[in-house]
Chain A
Amino acid sequence: MTPRKRSKKQSSSSESLQGRFRANLQQRLPQIRFLATVVILMGAYYTLTGMDAFSKNFLPAYLTVVASVTSAALSLLGFVTVTSGTVVSSTAFSMNIAYGCDALEPTFLFVVVVLAYPSMWKRKLIGALIGILLLYTTNIVRLVTLFWTGTYKRDYFELLHIEIWQALFIILALALFVVWVSLAERRVKHEAV
């Protein structure tokens, strides 16, 4: 092969590589846009949570509400509890609902992935609202089970608190997202028909 022919072949192969790369990128553009939106919004969330307005005003008020709802749920199950700010206590056990026990992070992650997913805004808003309600309710269930564990099986409290419930919550948020995507896409298909 003469040098000229070789260089022609090399340049055409580099062009085809570039073309393939471009086509691949074009094909994955929706996924890249989705992921970039998720990362940017999660970054915004962490920036927000680092602000004083969040940690000194919103968070304590929110955690106090969570503590009151948890206490109400516990009394439905027969526990006699009182709340003082973010602390729920009975004669046998006392639990402080702190930053990190609020389920805000996985809930926000769920809302972010729903909002970032390419779908109609109405569906996104309905999905996000239903998801927030379900995750909030699950968090109350989580806190009730933690209080129960703290009262009757204290040795297992930290295991349930950190190793088990945190991961379960994240997996639940992911499962909810997949269910929402399948429902949203199904409706699109039905409407198209």
Chain B
Amino acid sequence: MKRYNALLMFVLKAVSVYIVCVILLFTGAGDGYSSYFRGLGNFLFGKRWENVAISFVPKNAQQTTLADGHRATNISVRINNKDYHYADGRPVQGELGVNSHLQGYLPTALFLALILATPLGWKRRVKLMGIGLMLLHVFIAVLLWFVIVGYTEVSGIGIYRFGDVMKGFVSNVVQVALVNQIGISFVVPMLIWLGCSALSGALGTLLPAKEEE
């Protein structure tokens, strides 16, 4: 059992850090992160497309039901495509909900827990953390892109006019990413951590120390 001390310590540290992050989520950090997530969404997509205005705003609490539990969306993404109008001249608007906890906070918390628990020097750890967080943000951005584009395709206020094949692909990604949201939110940070630690050789630090000859 002693051989596995490094691994055991890694698991204990990762679980502890993750649990601290979950506690923080319910004691104010969740609201702070939600505000950051909206800012990120507005920065990335607000004026991404000509003629389409997108804004990430806090969701009206009355719109979320208790039955949705933690899956309830806490951010509304309002999409206004100026190319489309109702008969009375008003621009067509669409609105969809996203969950900053599931799509951003928990994956980030899991990645931070894994990287902080990995037995590494602080310099290497900070470097890997920076690379990992950047990749995680790319993942969040790509996921949001698919969600927005997928929604606008389905709702008829399309940003793009995709062919059947692309429509099917976008719909599949949205299906995998949103219907099974929980899975991908935890698998992706794990893959990012695995990539960072395998390439830097950090994965080897979890293996048992070699026995003396």
Chain A residues in contact with chain B, CB under 8 A?
A: 28, 31-32, 34-35, 38-39, 42, 46-47, 49-50, 99-100, 105-106, 109, 113, 157-159, 161-164, 166-171, 173-175, 178-179, 181-182, 185-186, 189
**CB within 8 Å for A171 and B11 given contacts A34-B198, A163-B25:** yes
- CB-nearest residue of chain A to B14: A171
**CB within 8 Å for A35 and B15 given contacts A105-B180, A163-B22, A178-B206:** no
State which of B32-40, B48-56, B77-85, B186-194 sits at the interface with chain A: B186-194
B12-48 interface bits toward A, Cβ cutoff 8 Å, 1 = contact, 0 = none: 0011001100100100000000000000000000000
Please tell me if the beta carbons of B25 and A162 are within 8 angstroms of each other in the complex.
no
10 contacts between A and B (CB under 8 A): A31-B201, A105-B183, A161-B70, A167-B106, A167-B110, A170-B110, A182-B207, A182-B208, A185-B207, A186-B208
- CB-nearest residue of chain A to B195: A35
Please tell me if the beta carbons of B187 and A175 are within 8 angstroms of each other in the complex.
no
Please tell me if the beta carbons of A28 and B191 are within 8 angstroms of each other in the complex.
no
B67-111 interface bits toward A, Cβ cutoff 8 Å, 1 = contact, 0 = none: 001110000000000000000000000000000001000100110
> B176 to chain A: which residues have CB within 8 Å?
46, 49-50
**CB within 8 Å for A158 and B69 given contacts A31-B199, A167-B106, A179-B7:** yes
B165: Cβ under 8 A from any A Cβ: no
Q: Return the contact of B106 from the options A100, A109, A163, A179 (Cβ within 8 A).
A: A163
Q: What distance in Å separates the Cβ of A136 from its nearest Cβ neighbour in chain B? A: 16
A31 to B204, CA, bound (A): 11
- CB-nearest residue of chain A to B183: A105
Most buried by B among A47, A161, A164, A174: A174
Q: What distance in Å separates the Cβ of A128 from its nearest Cβ neighbour in chain B? A: 17
> B173 to chain A: which residues have CB within 8 Å?
50
Q: What distance in Å separates the Cβ of A24 from its nearest Cβ neighbour in chain B? A: 10
Q: Return the contact of A181 from the options B185, B191, B199, B207 (Cβ within 8 A).
A: B207
Please tell me if the beta carbons of A99 and B190 are within 8 angstroms of each other in the complex.
no
A100 to B11, CA, bound (A): 23
> B3 to chain A: which residues have CB within 8 Å?
182
> B155 to chain A: which residues have CB within 8 Å?
none
**CB within 8 Å for A174 and B190 given contacts A100-B180, A100-B182:** yes
> A173 to chain B: which residues have CB within 8 Å?
190
- CB-nearest residue of chain B to A159: B70
Most buried by B among A47, A157, A175, A189: A175
A34 to B206, CA, bound (A): 17
A63 to B128, CA, bound (A): 38
Please tell me if the beta carbons of B106 and A113 are within 8 angstroms of each other in the complex.
no
- CB-nearest residue of chain B to A101: B182
